[in-house]
Amino acid sequence: MNFLKFTHDKLNVETLTDLVSSPKCGAVSIFMGTTRDTFDDKTVLKLEYEAYETMALKTLEKVCEEMRTKWPQIANIAVYHRLGAVPVKEASIVIAVAAPHRADALHATEWCIDKVKECVPIWKKEVYAEAAPQWKQNKESPKPKKFKLETEPRVEAPHIPPHLIQIKAPNSDLNKRIENFMEMKRNEININNVREFCTSDCNCARVDAVLQKRKDSKGHLQVSRVLNTYHRDQTNSDYLTKYIPQNGVEERLQNLELQLSLTTPTPRDIYTRLKKLEERMLHLEAISPEYVNFWDKTKHTFVKKKVFSLEEIDSLITDLEQRVQDEKK
């Protein structure tokens, strides 16, 4: 039977001896590992142990199975390991093995302690009197092996039929194409970086500002700055008079002329202008407002709007229905 345990309590050798003792066994081998007070001419105050208990217990079970394979006569095995601080002279691990003969018990115990130090996940820290604490590795633990490739790695490309190759060019031409593509993308980014409120001539639509390109930029993209050349008093709104017409009638006339695309010279007399606008509106209503973008705005004739009565509309509908019936016959 296997007795495996991790504990923070002080270990008792008699307890483990009683666990593994059996009437069929004539030998009980005990190993007890204790804390010594020196290491490399440094005074050791205590040892501190930590363990991944779940994995450590599984590893101890495998150690016991392997030990029973090597020495089938073994009856009972006990492995108790202490965690936390272990002062000088106190036991950190106790291994007890019971077997019918002393040779099996002694050899199995010696093999067991070496295997525990080699593979069980337990960490030990030595606390010194005159130096900083230090985590120690058991000399039985296997050293990590350096991985070295036996052969040099090499990429072998499969054979590609010539008709599947779309671009046949030397590396210099390919690099040139890549550089041209990157330059094109940089120019696109520069164009997108122009502020939305700037027109094509880089003049601001709302303030007297000009978009200036910075040549001293150290980045990959050329930096732009908006320079406001009009410095006004924020508390005074008189500057708006340069953008607002003198009166509301003048503004409305300008909007109408702009909407109707009247590019020909118009008399400045307000009544003459109103008359021309009214005639133009009557002409548009007489035709159709949907096709305003396709009209020839340079010349037009006045068409008087005709108003139909209800009787005339009914007569037109009756005539249209009669024509449709005649065509079907």
H/E stretch holding 94? strand 91-99
How many domains are contained in the chain? Answer: 3
> Which one, of 62, 71, 65, lies nearest residue 98 by Cα?
71
Is the same domain home to 7 and 39? yes
Is the same domain home to 277 and 200? no
Q: What is the pLDDT of residue 203?
A: 44
Residue 245 banded pLDDT, cuts 50, 70, 90: low
In a domain, 308, yes or no: yes
Token reading at 297: 């705005």
Res. 304: pLDDT tops 60: no
Q: What is the mean pLDDT of the chain?
A: 77
CATH classification at residue 95: 3.90.1170.40
Token reading at 274: 């109103």
Q: What is the pLDDT of residue 205?
A: 44
Residue 87 CB partners (closer than 8 Å, separation 6+): 35, 45, 46
Res. 265: pLDDT tops 70: no
Residue 79 banded pLDDT, cuts 50, 70, 90: very high
The helix/strand/coil state of 225 is: strand
In a domain, 51, yes or no: yes
Q: What is the pLDDT of residue 298?
A: 57
DSSP state of 246: S
In a domain, 180, yes or no: no
How many other CB atoms are found less than 10 A from the CB of residue 131? 12
Q: pTM, whole model, 2 decimals? A: 0.44
**Pairwise CA distance, residues 25 & 77, whole Å:** 12
* Contact present, 83 and 10 (Cβ < 8 Å): no
In a domain, 184, yes or no: no
Average pLDDT of span 207-225: 61
Average pLDDT of span 82-88: 91
Q: Which residue has the higher pLDDT, 228 or 54?
A: 54
Is the same domain home to 286 and 205? no
Is the same domain home to 278 and 233? no
Is the same domain home to 218 and 113? no
Which of 136, 164, 197 represents a domain boundary (last residue)?
136
In a domain, 154, yes or no: no
H/E stretch holding 31? strand 27-34
Res. 266: pLDDT tops 90: no
Is the same domain home to 7 and 128? yes
**Pairwise CA distance, residues 278 & 256, whole Å:** 10
- pLDDT > 70: what percent of the chain? 69
pLDDT in tens, 89-114: 999 999 999 999 989 899 999 999 98
Q: Which residue has the higher pLDDT, 251 or 180?
A: 180
Res. 206: pLDDT tops 50: no
- 30 — phi, psi (to 5°)? -120, 130
Is the same domain home to 17 and 130? yes
Is the same domain home to 109 and 21? yes
pLDDT in tens, 16-43: 999 999 888 889 999 999 998 888 888 8
**Pairwise CA distance, residues 164 & 175, whole Å:** 21
Q: What is the pLDDT of residue 297?
A: 54
In a domain, 144, yes or no: no
Residue 146 banded pLDDT, cuts 50, 70, 90: low
- Chain Cα centroid distance, residue 271: 68
Q: Please identify which residue in the block is written with the tokens 């050293």.
A: 143
Return the axis-axis angle of helices 53-70 and 102-119, rounded to nearest 10°.
Answer: 150
Highest-scoring range by mean pLDDT, 24-38, 135-149, 186-200, 234-248: 24-38
Which of 238, 265, 297 represents a domain boundary (last residue)?
238
- Chain Cα centroid distance, residue 226: 34
Neighbour-count burial of 47, counting CB atoms closer than 10 A to its CB (0-12 exposed, 13-18 middle, 19+ buried): buried
Domain span at 211? 189-238
Is the same domain home to 201 and 250? no
Q: What angle do CA 164, 165, 167 make, to 5 degrees?
A: 150
Which of 112, 136, 160 represents a domain boundary (last residue)?
136
- 281 — phi, psi (to 5°)? -65, -40
In a domain, 30, yes or no: yes
DSSP state of 198: B
Residue 6 banded pLDDT, cuts 50, 70, 90: very high
Is the same domain home to 222 and 288? no
In a domain, 158, yes or no: no
Average pLDDT of span 59-72: 91
Is the same domain home to 16 and 131? yes
H/E stretch holding 179? helix 171-192
